[in-house]
Structure formats: C-alpha cells, structure tokens
Amino acid sequence: MYAKNAWKKYQKDGLDKVFSFNDGYMSFLSKGKTERLCVKEAIRLASERGFKNLDEVKNLKPGDKVFATNKGKNFAAFVIGKKDLECGLRVLGAHIDSPRLDVKQNPLYERDGFCLMDTHYYGGIKKYLYVTIPLAIHGVVVKKDGTVVDVNVGEDLNDPVVGINDLLIHLSGDLMSKPASKVVEGEDLDLTVGSIPMEGDEEKDAIKKNILKLLNDKYGFEEEDFLSAELEIVPAGPARDYGLDRSMIAGYGHDDRVCAYTSLMAVLDEEKVDYTSCAVLVDKEEVGSVGATGAHSRWFENVIANLIAKTTDYNDLKLRNALTNTKMLSSDVSAGYDPLYAGVNDSKNAAYLGNGLCFNKYTGARGKSGCNDAMPEFFAEIRKAMDESDVNWQTSELGKVDQGGGGTIAYILGNMNMNVVDAGVAVLSMHSPMEVVSKVDVYEAYRGYRAFITKL
C-alpha cells in the first residue's frame, strides 16, 4: 500500500505483532551502542537461529545458514538459495556506526580542579546537543601485549556517567549571540571525568593521577594504552517508548541500527529462498564508508568469493556474474517529515512517520550529485513486490531541492554493477542524541525486507 498510514492495518488484531517485534529491536538498540557491540549482538541472534560461522564450514548447499565477520566491526548473514550464486544474491545492507564522540589518543588532562577527557567527534553532529546529557563510555583498549580490554561505563543505573558541561544562562550573554555552529566548538567537547586528588599527592595533576589509578584498578591499563584504544562516547541509557500511546521509540543510534536490525531479522527469519539472501552490516558510513570496515572495503566481495568457492569450482567470472546479478536494498534511514520544520521538505516527496518502509530513489546534493539514482526497471519490480506482500511503503527525497543533502552506501555497491536502491525507516531528529522512529515503520521495514529477499 503506497503512502498510507500503516497503523490502520494493525488496529483490529495486529498491534501485538508490531509491539513485540519492536521490543526485540529496542533491546538490540540498547545493547548495540557501538558497531562492535552490534556485531556481537548479531552473532548471538544468528547463532541462536542455527547460523554457523562461514570459516568453520567446508561446503555449502541450498538451505545452509552461515555468517561472516570482519575485524569485529562487520557482519554478514547468508541463507544459501536454490539457485547458483552466479545468478546473484538478494542483499540488505545497513550500517552500524552512528555519530558520536571518540576519545582522542592523548585524552586526559587536569585543569583548575577537574580531570577532563578530550574527544574528537565522529560523523555529522550539532555539537551543542552533546552538552548536559548523561554520556557513557564504550569500547576497547588494546594493550601492547595484544590484550583487548572491554570498557563499558554508564549504562548500568549504578554506574557513574560522564558529560560535557554548559555555561549557565546567567553568564551566556556573549555565547548566545554566536551562531549555532560556534556555540560549542569541536575542541571544547571535553568530558568531565573526575575531581578528587590522589591521596597524599601534593604535586601537579593529582586528580588526573587518581583517575588513572582508578582505571588501572578496574581495567588494568595505563595512560599510554589510550594510544591504542577505541573508546566511543555515546548517550547513556536504554531506548524508550516515545509518545503517550507508545507508538514511537526514542533512542540513540536509530541511524542506522534500525535498518540493521530489521535487515538482519528479515534474513534470519527466512527458511528457504530461491536466491541466496544476505544481510550485511558495515562500519564507517558516517565518515564516508572508507577503510577496511567501510562499504568501500573489498571484504564483502571476498566473502561472496568464499561462498562461491564453498559451493562450486571457483573462478573469477562466477564472482563477477554474481555481483552483476545481485539486487540490493541499501537499508538506511530517511529524514522524517517534522511538522515543526515543514519548510525544509517538498511535502509530496517527503517521508512520513507511520507510512511504512521508505524508498529513496536517489539522495545526493546540488543536483543529485554523488547519488545512486536507482533504475526505474528495478524500482518497478520493487513496487510490485511491496504491493503483492501488502507492505505499507512510501517514497521520499532528502529535503527539498538545494536545501542540503547527504549520501548512503548505495552507490558503492552500485559500482559493482548491481541494482541498488535506498530503503529504510523515517527518523526524526536524525543524528541527535535522541532520534525517534515509529514502531509501525520498523515493523513494515522488516516485512518489506522479507518481501524483497523472497519476491525479487
């Protein structure tokens, strides 16, 4: 059903299905505060459903279920189809990195009675939204001997949180006249982490020393170990029901964990498929999809080569054919229409919360620049599959023409010559510490993704 409110479909006897699916998603979102944690959770969900690690499987046949990972930050689940891999796959691809603050390599310093921790923001954020909210620290510290120490502070209600202080309104005369981009500058996104001096230490940096001792007692690492750490500062606390009717979810990281979870579950829940189905979760989308764990990496192509080698005699042409014949949804979020900021949209080409899975034929900026403009032949197949499966779906553009813009991973896989279109959930307050989605859109995304892998 195109551009219709999806709640109506479930009001008689389907609301339980919508809400219980979203309980699973909220749990995933609350646990998956970093890309590494999302991968861990994906492995758990897949293993529970009988998926085996591809590395431990010698040969593959139709109906087999496997998963692959890359450096702890990428994950892909596959259900092997009846048709040869050379006929192509049906791929759902989402990203599991989200905008945040990263701890710098030399982060700790003491000033005027406080120990502070320096950060460098990751992805597009409005910096002023990160002050005066409880923040948690997640990630790993890797010691010189290779030991990986997991760090997780701020989620348990008994844990302390950290945060970035704000200037009181009473003294903000100068500050309030600055443009929003300058009110909180990037170099000022420093966390307050302590204020007790080390006992019996009258020298310089006694508060910092005390924090380092505390870290060493709890985690066994030293100041120098920050050099090889990956610590992410994210809003503390779980995802919550949003709205008095609990129709929405407020949480950190819907972009793009909402499409990651729905894509993953769509593949995990399918038993038999004609074309090999895949949910792939990538990193680094928010900073350009670069590097070994971003969508530009050869990893995904290598995994498909491995799949082919485990089903038949491998040759390069089979891999090229598999990629060319693959159809993919770039599962990523859309900018939800917000009545408070209606002016940034063309209202007839906007994504509305509640209207179901949202397709963006193109994204880009300044005349569609940098976009993957999906083929109309491919989009026609998608319309048919969505309507035949009674999925509520809609189309949108990222804002009105020349209002701004953005991109996704769609074009990167498109470069491998596969048909790709963006499809995901509409989000309000995107890239803020508290993003909002509609539960019925989450459910329709899951249903739409299932329709894609079984009908196209």
Are the CB atoms for 90 and 277 separated by under 8 Å?
A: yes
Nearer to Mn ion, 256 or 444 (CB): 256
Nearer to Mn ion, 385 or 409 (CB): 409
In the complex, minimum distance from the CB of residue 120 to Mn ion, in angstroms, rounded to a whole number: 18
Number of residues that bind Mn ion (CB under 5 A): 3
**Which strand (E) or helix (H) includes residue 111?**
strand 100-111
The correct pick among 35, 64, 110, 332 for binding Mn ion (CB under 5 A) is: 332
Q: Is 97 in the site for Mn ion (CB under 5 A)?
A: no
CA–CA gap between residue 345 and residue 13 (Å, rounded): 34
Nearer to Mn ion, 141 or 259 (CB): 259
Backbone phi and psi for residue 34, each to the nearest 5 degrees, phi listed first: -135, 170
Nearer to Mn ion, 41 or 255 (CB): 255
Q: Which two tokens stand for residue 116?
A: 């502070």
Nearer to Mn ion, 86 or 255 (CB): 255
In the complex, minimum distance from the CB of residue 300 to Mn ion, in angstroms, rounded to a whole number: 17
Q: List the interface residues with Mn ion, window 242-281 (CB under 5 A).
A: 255-256
* N-term to C-term CA, the chain: 17
Task: Establish how many alpha carbons lie within 13 A of residue 78's alpha carbon, considering only the half-sphere containing its beta carbon.
Answer: 28
In DSSP terms, 428 is beta-bridged to: 436
Torsion over CA: 125, 131, 135, 138 (sign) = positive
Q: Which amino acid is at 69?
A: T
In the complex, minimum distance from the CB of residue 365 to Mn ion, in angstroms, rounded to a whole number: 14
Are the CB atoms for 258 and 67 separated by under 8 Å?
A: no
In the complex, minimum distance from the CB of residue 106 to Mn ion, in angstroms, rounded to a whole number: 28
Query: Angle at Cα 241 formed by Cα 238 and Cα 245, nearest 5°?
Result: 175
Binding track over 338-367 against Mn ion, x by CB under 5 A: ------------------------------
Residue with tokens 């034929």: 361
Q: In terms of DSSP bridges, do strands 327-330 and 89-95 run parallel, antiparallel, or are they unpaired?
A: parallel
Binding track over 16-55 against Mn ion, x by CB under 5 A: ----------------------------------------
In the complex, minimum distance from the CB of residue 125 to Mn ion, in angstroms, rounded to a whole number: 10
Only segment of 14-22, 174-182, 326-334, 362-370 that touches Mn ion (CB under 5 A): 326-334
In the complex, minimum distance from the CB of residue 360 to Mn ion, in angstroms, rounded to a whole number: 11
Alpha helices in 128-198 (DSSP H): 173-176, 180-183
Backbone phi and psi for residue 68, each to the nearest 5 degrees, phi listed first: -130, 150
State the residue number with the nearest CB to Mn ion. Answer: 256
In the complex, minimum distance from the CB of residue 124 to Mn ion, in angstroms, rounded to a whole number: 7
Nearer to Mn ion, 333 or 456 (CB): 333
Only segment of 69-77, 301-309, 325-333, 376-384 that touches Mn ion (CB under 5 A): 325-333
In the complex, minimum distance from the CB of residue 311 to Mn ion, in angstroms, rounded to a whole number: 32
Q: Reduced to 3 states, what is the DSSP secondary structure of residue 282?
A: strand
Residues that bind Mn ion (CB under 5 A): 255-256, 332
